[in-house]
Amino acid sequence: MDVGALESRLVLYIGFWRSLMDVGALESRLVLYIGFLALTHGRGCVGIAIGIVHRVLALTHGRGCVGIAIGIVHWVLTLTHGRGCVRIVIVIVHRVLTLTHGRGCVGIVIVIVHRVLALTHGRGCVGIAIGIVHRVLTLTHGRGCVGIVIVIVHRVLALTHGRGCVGIAIAFGLMATSVENRQFIEPGLPRFTHTIHSSDSPVRSDSYSIYTLKTKTFIDDSSSDEDVEESDRRSYNKMSEKVKLSILDPRDKGTSDSWIERNPALIRLTGKHPFNSEPPLTRLMSHGFITPVPLHYVRNHGPVPRASWDEWTVEVCGLVKRPNRFTMAQLVHEFPARELPVTLVCAGNRRKEQNMVKKTVGFNWGAAAVSTSVWRGARLRDVLKRCGILSRRGGALNVCLEGAEDLPGGGGSKYGTSLKKEVAMDPASDIIIAYLQNGEVLEPDHGYPVRIIIPGFIGGRMVKWLRRIIVTTEESQSYYHYKDNRVLPSHVDEELANAQGWWYKPEYIINELNINSVITSPGHEEILQINSVTMQRPYKLKGYAYSGGGKKVTRVEVTMDGGDTWRICEIDRPEKPTKYGKYWCWCFWSLDVEILDLVEAKEIAVRAWDETLNTQSEKLIWNVMGMMNNCWFRVKTCVCKPHKGEVGIMFEHPTMPGNQSGGWMDRQKQLETSESQALKKSLSTPFMNKSSNTFSMAEVKKHSSPDSVWIVVHGHVYECTKFVKDHPGGVDSILINAGTDCTEEFDAIHSDKTKAMLEDYRMGELIHTSDVDLLQLSTIKEVAVMRSSALIPGEKIPCKLVSKASISRDGRLFRFALPSSDHVLGLPVGKHIFLSATIDNNLCMRAYTPTSSVDQVGYFDLLIKIYFKGENPKFPNGGLMSQHLESLPVGSMLDIKGPLGHIEYMGRGNFTIHGEPKFARRLAMLAGGTGITPMYQVMQAILKDPEDETEMYLVYANRTEEDILLREELDEWARRHSNVKVWYVVEEKRDGWEYSTGFITESVLREHIPEGTEETLALACGPPPMIQFAVLPGLEKMDYDMKKSLLTF
């Protein structure tokens, strides 16, 4: 039977079986036909079968039925050849189409295969189709067929996407070449899950719906839309060395980061916790362009948040039309991915050099706070466009970024920052929400599961553990947005910055990196031997350079004569510019120098230039944060004798990172301060007495923490650690005196009975020294310590009375000047201070809460009620301290001491009680008389924060209406703020009084404060009878837990 007759017969059979049986039966019949054809036409008959089926289906389905035909044949062959038959089908289809369409039919084959796979695998199957075609072509054209694949893919995509599809074609073509390394997520294909096993890590136990690469070739975004030649593509993967595996470091034991694996080679800069580290400089450079993730520098402000890939979301809100919350799966699959190499640099890179000149507020970064990775993620602009970001007219001026970690700064806040909307939406900025680093999911220290990458910016703007993106009119209000990453003028220290608000001046914020360069070879303390062999060849100086904002480093120069002459270096720039001409990565420089030149040189220095002709300054420019240090990097040289009979050149870098000693700046500082060190040693020596029953003051000062509390009273040393938690005045009242001689304070506020109890804690005697020695030691201490806060725990601070005003018959407002006009008091919200004075030759101390704001600069206010002599029969002598204050003339000096108290309000409903956290959404505030001041302080702090929605219900009791303190302020707050409710109670009323009369009762409480719940706290301050007979019984009946939900000041 000829083929034509077979076709006719097949038409009849297909029609018959379609009318009587299901598709499965048709498949069975095709098996028979293929078997029949095999007897007459041999094994090559499958192609004929496809052709026949196609012709038949064309009659009923039209010309677009090729995909169906191939699908049917694939089903058939699967029964006889197994799942691996796809490639056989493609070869057959290619051969068939070659007969009818010529050799250029490969593109049609890819389209057909894609259509078939799309039916079973979804639209994302293009990469699989191309990968399969690549495998087929490899069999017929060899391994060099990648170029053919790319050309074919381009032609196919050009039909559907236009000529601008080159980048897509290349990407798909390269996917084909590494198809065996990919993790496919399509159903029915092999799935390779990247899983690292760690029993206590919430990160490693997840499986991710994204692929990872073992060896990856990265293609930069070309500035051309034309086809890219093979020779123009560059490989960025230079990680040839194996990196030592990360471990659960014993140094993290006992910290909140104990579950994280870290590389032991990293140099820790801030002790055990939080984790801040950089790699050894030579180790960093040995890996070349791409830094292995375990050696990438780390900057953490606090504990690393634990995260789950499946549960993590990123919220986009604020000035957008469509607020949304994106899961990780959505970020990975719903947005086009951008993958590019980016160099990250901490703004504190090389800070230790500044700390050698004058201490900054930051820790000691060396020259390795720089690393480069290939980052992959969704473009920020795409996400914002999806959510409908508003225009500038609509108020959208800033994009705020907020992380997940809970940090202590500013009384408790998230790490956050912001960037201008124009930057966020600029396609040239390449800002991405990254979820892959070097082809792997992010490590916990680097922001797992998602972080922001802003190429060309400092690392401090690239928020890790990204939780929220808020489009706003104002820039971020995060504490860390203002109190970090600034370059203030050199004359501004921390005190001045706090006093004059330098932190908030926009002109000093850091965004883009500045130009910088470093010498990495020779390394620190490297010795170059001078002999007949080394003299015959030059020595190669090497290092890195980078700039910010995508600017190209155009020139690197080295001087060996102090800047009189400069030599141009050769630059190795592994990256190519983006389509917008941006350079996001570091480059490497090198220079061959003769050995004799090194012998003659006392110093080698490097500087770099970028395309805007910015360069590095010759001398270090100090700033209080130690940021952006980019002066010439200088390496000192000296001739040495490493071994007997040998001569060499030893090289010395400026510093060593962290607390490591070494470096010419360290050596120079030690020489300059040798006399001062000798003085300190001579002063401290007499104090080091280790007798079992006698202790020096230096030893006592070491015991000033909650874990070990020593005090000195009348020359005796007492160990009070066990008594701290039971002290009626709270933990702080002892801790502020821990490690000090507090004889006067103790006598002023304790009874004879308490003094007798103290003997149970006596452990020895204090060694006495001369007044001269103590005076000298005190002077050195004062010079060494600079504080922006006036309060220094454990020390008395003299303050001048600068004004006093009468606000009622017995109410006075006293204003005290701080020691400096640049100081703030430094009193946490919820705590109070001791005011001390000598009255009738006796020390008198009383606790007061200031009514001035906690950030008031230069002074503080005390609102005090004067208890006059003879007015109250219970206290005929009146108030000793209040009457003394009443009698003081302006200009008098008094001492303050603090902070004192066991309650601290951290903001947004968060309290710390005896060091333990407590949260409340509602506050029942019960005050009597001057007990209003701590309530006022807390209310003031809540209302100052527009995002603090804590509800406040104040019941304030007094004898008469005239005795109500701060009434105007309280009434104004109640009018302006919906979360403030105020109710007054007085014993004596007059006409028109609209509040309660008498005393605080259960009915008053039930009507004006909320019932007791887990999220309600009661704050009370007033006369003991009010607390004992009114507050406690009433709250107990309203279901308040007296131990957990009542705080008394």
- The catalytic residues are 346, 484-485
Buried b (16+ CB within 10 A) or exposed e, 218-240: bbbebeeeeebeeeeeeebbebe
DSSP designation for 334: S
What's the CA gap between 113 and 115, in Å, rounded?
Answer: 5
Closest CA to 548 of 442, 444, 458: 458
CB of 898 closer than 8 Å to CB of 831:
yes
Question: What values do phi and psi take at 838, rounded to 5?
Answer: -95, 115
Closest CA to 281 of 590, 513, 542, 609: 542
- 517 burial (CB, 10 Å; 0-12 / 13-18 / 19+) is buried
Q: Which two tokens stand for residue 784?
A: 């060494």
**Residue 803 exposure: Cα atoms within 13 Å on the Cβ side:** 8
SS (H, E, C) 630-677: CCCEEEEEEEECCCCCCCEEEEECCCCCCCCCCCHHHHHHHHHCHHHH
Closest CA to 210 of 453, 374, 435: 435
Put the strands of the sheet holding 797-806 in their side by side order.
Answer: 842-848, 832-839, 893-900, 797-806, 811-817, 859-865
CB of 825 closer than 8 Å to CB of 856:
yes
Which residues are within 8 A (CB) of 737 and not within 5 positions of it... i.e. 6 or more apart?
711, 745, 746, 794
CB of 577 closer than 8 Å to CB of 223:
yes
Tell whether the torsion through CA atoms of 202, 207, 208 and 210 is positive or negative.
Answer: positive
Which residues are within 8 A (CB) of 60 and not within 5 positions of it... i.e. 6 or more apart?
none
Which residues are within 8 A (CB) of 286 and not within 5 positions of it... i.e. 6 or more apart?
241
Q: Across the chain, which distance is largest between two alpha carbons, in Å?
A: 133
Torsion of CA 81, 82, 84, 85, to 10 degrees: 40
What's the CA gap between 149 and 106, in Å, rounded?
Answer: 9
CB of 275 closer than 8 Å to CB of 300:
yes
Closest CA to 649 of 562, 541, 752, 721: 541
What's the CA gap between 306 and 320, in Å, rounded?
Answer: 29
CB of 464 closer than 8 Å to CB of 303:
no
Q: Which two tokens stand for residue 949?
A: 């929605």
